[in-house]
Amino acid sequence: MQPERKLPATAIIREVGLRDGLQSIARILPSAQKIEWIRAAHAAGQREIEVGSFVPARLLPQLADTAELVAYARTLPDLFVSVLVPNLKGAERAIESGAHLMTVPLSASHAHSLANLRRAPDEVVADVARMRAAIDAAGSSILLEGGISTAFGCTLQGEVPHDEVVRLVRCLLDAGVDRISLADTVGYADPLAVERLFTKVRAVAGDKLWCGHFHDTRGLGLANVLAALQTGVNRFDACLAGIGGCPHAPGASGNVSSEDLAFMLRSMGIDTGIDIDALLALRRQVADWLDGETLHGTLWRAGLPKCMSPAQPEAVAV
Amino acid sequence: MQPERKLPATAIIREVGLRDGLQSIARILPSAQKIEWIRAAHAAGQREIEVGSFVPARLLPQLADTAELVAYARTLPDLFVSVLVPNLKGAERAIESGAHLMTVPLSASHAHSLANLRRAPDEVVADVARMRAAIDAAGSSILLEGGISTAFGCTLQGEVPHDEVVRLVRCLLDAGVDRISLADTVGYADPLAVERLFTKVRAVAGDKLWCGHFHDTRGLGLANVLAALQTGVNRFDACLAGIGGCPHAPGASGNVSSEDLAFMLRSMGIDTGIDIDALLALRRQVADWLDGETLHGTLWRAGLPKCMSPAQPEAVAV
């Protein structure tokens, strides 16, 4: 019998529904609703939220109010506020905004990188070095995260070799990123691949590897989170109601849903600080705002088990 | 860094859609369609199928043709045919039918056992001893499996202590079962509980612990399979299109879906012998027969990854 794996005592669910979720939904949620979402997520115990993306408003009008959202989110105590930035211009706006962290996506798939960003991965690395310089020149304390997308394969080129991902991680670290995250953008990852790639990247990036981003496109989202958790990662991106989705698989499930993930971690005795009942109440609110859109997740329907309290492990009445 | 876990090289998906799935759907599928389902599942590479249950037809008219299905399934080469039996009368019919294995459900939750079977768990153990005697008296080679349901908790009594599950496993072994399976009947399990309980039961039952049965009621079905797989179990019950469901959570997801599970195992390089494209074709057929019923699963929508062949690991074109 193999020994029980040591799991992290705590974990963080970084809510990315306001960015990764809303960017793939055509309707534009009013800023007032997004602010209410951020307020309620914080009240439910969420402490890291990616509030938007500094992309041109003509490309993603849904996220045009990102600066306003950062400003609001910064007023909430102990909330770590992050944004996505696609390029140097976006990075400059992020620095100005006062966000705590910016994530730069870099696609490990050459084909996906060219199709999506119109730049090869190594050109993106060069951009990242310029962002590092801009941060330092501004005397800003904002953290710079390199988010490697299509790390487990891509719908355009198929396989993405682990060695290429590891090479790009080294490049990003050399270019000056503070953090590394790995994303299964299209739902190609499986638990064994997750264990292997996270282990390889950990060997290169150490504690700078800090977040996993999994989509549930083929149903393996939470199994992949579990595999990453077992390698020691304890921060995961997730979207309330599993919004998001894969542009290459219409109708397919999107990101891991925050509420199901919170339930899994809570069941395993891993403290996320989240009040699941409050999160489910927020889900009902957001589902109402997004009426007609395809939502995902399962916990909202079945509810919490009889023996589980909604809040913290200390309060379990068993 | 923790060492990579050794995983089984092969795994078996025991299709239980014809029993656990259909018993919770009111409509009665004609025998000819069930026979076509069994034929096509076998042709797709499935080698273990639970074809029905020997319960009185007035209780479950959907499964009244179980003897006929066993007779047909026995004609297919290398197909291991199992049935569920609730009591001694059902066991006698199973012995007559020529099935290879019969599973007796025993609810580890006292409250659930009384509500569902109108007998306490220890009374069920006494029944199992009588079934053992009947098998031996008949000179039958049918295998006797004790399937412990609500092993991870129950909607009536909440928590089910691991010690009680282990005690019942000992009782079942003493009563003469050949095999033990553990079921998360209501979707209360989490990966850590799975790892712990399977490890404890393995210590008592050894290789007689041979199957895990997980529901996806709260989204953790495949994560729980992964946790069990990591303890060395390599046989899992699943239902095509995730039919089944939990009578206590209307509308909630049911069993782990066979096609998503086949995809996860295949992605991890674990050979199930299943041609996933053929299984997805069968899913379309069954979905057509069950038009209007709630189905589950995700792979059918997104399709296989670009770099994956539908059949065996040896054939991967990467």
- The model's pLDDT over B150-201, given as tens digits with 9 standing for 90+, comes to 999 998 889 999 999 999 999 999 999 999 999 999 899 999 999 999 999 9
Tokens found for residue A200? 């390889």
Instruction: Map residue B226 onto helix, strand or coil.
Output: helix
Round to whole Å and give the CA distance between A72 and A228. 32
Instruction: Map residue B201 onto helix, strand or coil.
Output: helix
The answer to whether B272 touches B45, Cβ cutoff 8 Å, is: yes
Tokens found for residue A251? 């109708």
CA B87, B93, B99, B100 dihedral sign is positive
Contact B190 A231 (CB under 8 A): no
- Give the DSSP H or E segment for B163: helix B162-174
Round to whole Å and give the CA distance between A196 and A31. 41
Give the pLDDT of residue B307: 80
Does residue B248 register a pLDDT over 70?
no
Q: What is the mean pLDDT of residues A52-66?
A: 95
Contact B298 A219 (CB under 8 A): yes
Tokens found for residue B4? 């990579």
A residues 275-314 lying closer than 8 A (beta carbon) to B: 297-299, 301-303, 305-307
- Unique residue bearing structure tokens 């369609």: B33
Give the pLDDT of residue B251: 61
Tell me the nearest-neighbour CA distance from B300 into chain A, angstroms. Answer: 8
Tell me if chain B has a CB within 8 Å of the CB of A33. no
pLDDT digits (tens, 9 = 90+) for A121-174: 999 999 999 999 999 999 999 999 999 999 999 988 899 999 999 999 999 999
pLDDT digits (tens, 9 = 90+) for A111-126: 999 988 899 999 999 9
Nearest CA in chain B to A219: B298
pLDDT digits (tens, 9 = 90+) for A254-265: 899 999 999 999
Residues of chain A with Cβ-Cβ distance to B303 below 8 Å are 249
Closest in B216, B232, B302 to A298, CB measured: B216
Best of B197, B220, B272 to disrupt the A interface (most A CBs within 10 Å) is B220
Round to whole Å and give the CA distance between A224 and A187. 10
Give the pLDDT of residue A116: 83
Does residue A2 register a pLDDT over 60?
no
Of B108-117, B194-203, B281-290, which range is least confident? B108-117
Burial class, A109, CB count within 10 angstroms (exposed 0-12 / middle 13-18 / buried 19+):
buried
Q: What is the mean pLDDT of residues A297-312?
A: 82
Read off the DSSP letter of residue B311. S
Closest in A217, A264, A307 to B220, CB measured: A264
Say what the alpha-carbon torsion angle A230, A231, A236, A242 is, to the nearest 10 degrees.
Answer: -50
Does residue A316 register a pLDDT over 70?
no
Which amino acids of B are annotated catalytic?
Answer: 246
Give the pLDDT of residue A314: 41
Contact B196 A4 (CB under 8 A): yes
A5 to A230, B38, B84: CA distances (angstroms): 7, 39, 35
Contact B1 A199 (CB under 8 A): yes
Q: In the 3-class helix/strand/coil scheme, how is A157-190 assigned residue by residue?
A: CECCCHHHHHHHHHHHHHHCCCEEEEEECCCCCC
Of B14-23, B132-141, B237-246, B283-292, which range is least confident? B237-246
Does residue B314 register a pLDDT over 60?
no
The CB density around residue A200, as the number of other CB atoms within 10 Å, is 18
Tell me if chain A has a CB within 8 Å of the CB of B162. no
Does residue A253 register a pLDDT over 80?
no
Tell me if chain B has a CB within 8 Å of the CB of A233. no
Say what the alpha-carbon torsion angle A29, A31, A37, A43 is, to the nearest 10 degrees.
Answer: 180
Nearest to A200 by CA among A244, A226, A220, A170: A170
Radius of gyration of chain A (CA): 18
pLDDT digits (tens, 9 = 90+) for B41-56: 999 999 999 999 999 9
Give the pLDDT of residue B247: 58
Does residue B7 register a pLDDT over 50?
yes
- Unique residue bearing structure tokens 């876990």: B5
Whole-prediction pTM value?
0.94
Nearest to B227 by CA among A191, A277, A50, A307: A191
Mean pLDDT of chain B, nearest integer: 93
Tokens found for residue B29? 């599928």
Round to whole Å and give the CA distance between A127 and A176. 11
Does residue A252 register a pLDDT over 80?
no
Contact B192 A7 (CB under 8 A): yes
Q: What is the mean pLDDT of residues B286-305?
A: 93
- Unique residue bearing structure tokens 């007035």: B58
The answer to whether B260 touches B276, Cβ cutoff 8 Å, is: no
State percent of chain A over pLDDT 70. 93
Give the pLDDT of residue A250: 59
Band (A290; pLDDT cuts 50, 70, 90): very high
Give the pLDDT of residue B51: 98
Contact A303 B153 (CB under 8 A): no
State percent of chain A over pLDDT 90. 86
Q: What value, to the nearest 5°, has the Cα angle with vertex A211 and ends A208 and A215?
A: 150
pLDDT digits (tens, 9 = 90+) for A183-238: 999 999 999 999 999 999 999 999 999 999 999 999 999 999 999 999 999 999 99
Residues of chain B with Cβ-Cβ distance to A298 below 8 Å are 216-219, 252-253
Contact A219 B318 (CB under 8 A): no
Does residue A9 register a pLDDT over 70?
yes
Residues in chain A: 318
Residues of chain A with Cβ-Cβ distance to B156 below 8 Å are 306
Best of A267, A296, A299, A309 to disrupt the B interface (most B CBs within 10 Å) is A267
Tell me if chain A has a CB within 8 Å of the CB of B316. no
Could you give all domains of chain B from N- to C-terminal order, each with its CATH number?
12-315 (3.20.20.70)
Of A9-13, B33-37, B250-254, B263-267, which range is least confident? B250-254
Q: In the 3-class helix/strand/coil scheme, how is chain A assigned residue by residue?
A: CCCCCCCCCECEEEECHHHHHHHHCCCCCCHHHHHHHHHHHHHCCCCEEEEEECCCCCCCHHHCCHHHHHHHHCCCCCCEEEEECCCHHHHHHHHHHCCCEEEEEEECCHHHHHHHHCCCHHHHHHHHHHHHHHHHHHCCCCEEEEEEECCCCECCCECCCHHHHHHHHHHHHHHCCCEEEEEECCCCCCHHHHHHHHHHHHHHHHHHEEEEEEECCCCCHHHHHHHHHHCCCCEEEEEHHHCCCCCCCCCCCCECEHHHHHHHHHHCCCECCCCHHHHHHHHHHHHHHCCCCCCCCCHHHHCCCCCCCCCCHHHCCC
Give the pLDDT of residue A198: 98
Does residue B214 register a pLDDT over 90?
yes
Tell me if chain B has a CB within 8 Å of the CB of A214. no
Burial of A151-165, coded b for 16+ CB within 10 Å and e otherwise, reads bbbbbbbbbbebebb
Instruction: Map residue B200 onto helix, strand or coil.
Output: helix
Contact B202 A306 (CB under 8 A): no
The answer to whether A93 touches A67, Cβ cutoff 8 Å, is: yes
Give the pLDDT of residue B4: 67
Phi then psi for residue A28, to 5 deg, are -100, 115
The pairs formed by B134-139 with CB atoms below 8 angstroms and a separation of 24 or more are B134/B88, B134/B91, B134/B92, B134/B95, B135/B91, B135/B95, B138/B95
Does residue A3 register a pLDDT over 70?
no
Nearest to B244 by CA among B285, B204, B286: B286
State percent of chain B over pLDDT 90. 86
Q: What value, to the nearest 5°, has the Cα angle with vertex A82 and ends A77 and A87?
A: 155
The answer to whether B171 touches B135, Cβ cutoff 8 Å, is: no
Nearest CA in chain B to A157: B306
Does residue A312 register a pLDDT over 60?
no
Which amino acids of A are annotated catalytic?
Answer: 246
Nearest CA in chain A to B157: A306
The answer to whether A231 touches A198, Cβ cutoff 8 Å, is: yes
Nearest to B265 by CA among B229, B294, B215: B229
Tell me if chain B has a CB within 8 Å of the CB of A203. yes
Closest in B195, B268, B301 to A251, CB measured: B301
Instruction: Map residue B154 onto helix, strand or coil.
Output: strand
Give the pLDDT of residue B64: 97
Does residue A1 register a pLDDT over 60?
no
pLDDT digits (tens, 9 = 90+) for A62-84: 999 999 999 999 999 999 999 99
* Top-confidence residue, B187 or B315: B187
